[in-house]
Amino acid sequence: MSSYELTDHLINAAVNKSEERTKSKKESEKDELLNSDIEKYLKPVVFSTTPGKSVNESIVAYQLYNCFNYSLFVNNSKHKEMKYMIGVTSPNAGEGKTTTACNLATALSLSSQRKTVLIDLNTNKPRVHEIFGTPISPGFTDALLGDEICVTPTQIENLSVLPSGNLKNLPPNRLINFNIVAYSLFQTFEFIVVDLSSVDAKNFPTLIANQLNGLIVVVESSRTKRSDISRLFRRVNEKNVIGFVMNKINDNDF
Condensed to tens digits (0 to 9), the pLDDT of residues 25-56 reads: 555 554 554 555 667 788 999 999 888 988 99
| Domain boundaries defined on the chain | 3-18+25-249
Q: What is the DSSP string of 170-207?
A: --GGGGGGHHHHHHHHTTT-SEEEEEPPPTTSTT--HH
pLDDT of 73 reads 58
Condensed to tens digits (0 to 9), the pLDDT of residues 92-136 reads: 999 999 999 999 999 888 887 889 999 999 988 999 999 999 999
Closest C-alpha among 254, 248, 51, 251 to residue 155:
51
What is the rounded CA–CA span in Å between residue 181 and residue 11? 10
pLDDT of 93 reads 92
Condensed to tens digits (0 to 9), the pLDDT of residues 139-195 reads: 999 998 889 999 999 999 999 999 999 887 766 666 678 888 999 999 999 999 999
HSE, CB side, 13 Å, CA atoms: give it for residue 78: 2
Least confident of 2-11, 114-123, 169-178, 208-217: 2-11
Give CATH superfamily name and number for 3-18+25-249: P-loop containing nucleotide triphosphate hydrolases (3.40.50.300)
pLDDT of 1 reads 45
pLDDT of 46 reads 95
Strands laid side by side in the 214-220 sheet: 45-47, 149-153, 159-162, 116-120, 191-195, 84-89, 214-220, 241-247
CB within 8 A of 149, min separation 6: which ones?
Answer: 43, 44, 45, 46, 143, 162, 181, 184, 185
